[in-house]
């Protein structure tokens, strides 16, 4: 259970870093940022695998670069679902999704999971 909270915190941190670095991303209040991270996490858990499976030919042809388009689309969808979270345009969505991916990779990698995993969980 704590692993879910840690992942949510890391995603919130990643979205905040993206908002601070990318001009076209913005949020109204900190609660909006936390909700946006939650919605993005839910979309990444349930929608992204389906989109990835459907677009396997495009992913292969573009050598994986199509995954950036999927991530950007999920970020734009998050902005549509969360009032007060703004993604102004597609270039901002692309840049934001790349930054979110990099931050979650460094702070939420497999090594962190191993640190917080209890011996009886799986």
- 29 Cβ contact partners less than 8 Å away, ≥ 6 residues apart: 84
pLDDT tens, position by position, 21-31: 999 999 999 99
Position 70 pLDDT exceeds 60: yes
The token pair at 70 is 């999927």
- 17 Cβ contact partners less than 8 Å away, ≥ 6 residues apart: 99, 100, 103
- 16 Cβ contact partners less than 8 Å away, ≥ 6 residues apart: 33
pTM for the full model?
0.88
pLDDT band at 64 (very low <50, low <70, confident <90, very high): very high
């Amino acid at each position: 259970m704590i692993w879910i909270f840690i992942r949510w915190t890391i995603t919130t941190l990643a979205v905040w870093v993206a908002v601070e670095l990318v001009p076209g991303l913005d949020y109204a209040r900190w609660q909006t940022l936390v909700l946006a991270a939650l919605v993005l996490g839910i979309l990444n858990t349930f929608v992204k695998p389906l989109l990835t499976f459907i677009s396997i030919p495009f992913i292969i042809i573009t050598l994986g670069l199509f995954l950036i388009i999927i991530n950007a689309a999920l970020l734009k969808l998050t902005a549509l679902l969360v009032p007060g979270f703004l993604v102004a345009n597609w270039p901002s969505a692309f840049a934001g999704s790349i930054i979110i991916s990099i931050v979650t990779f460094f702070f939420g990698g497999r090594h962190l999971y191993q640190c917080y995993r209890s011996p009886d969980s799986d």
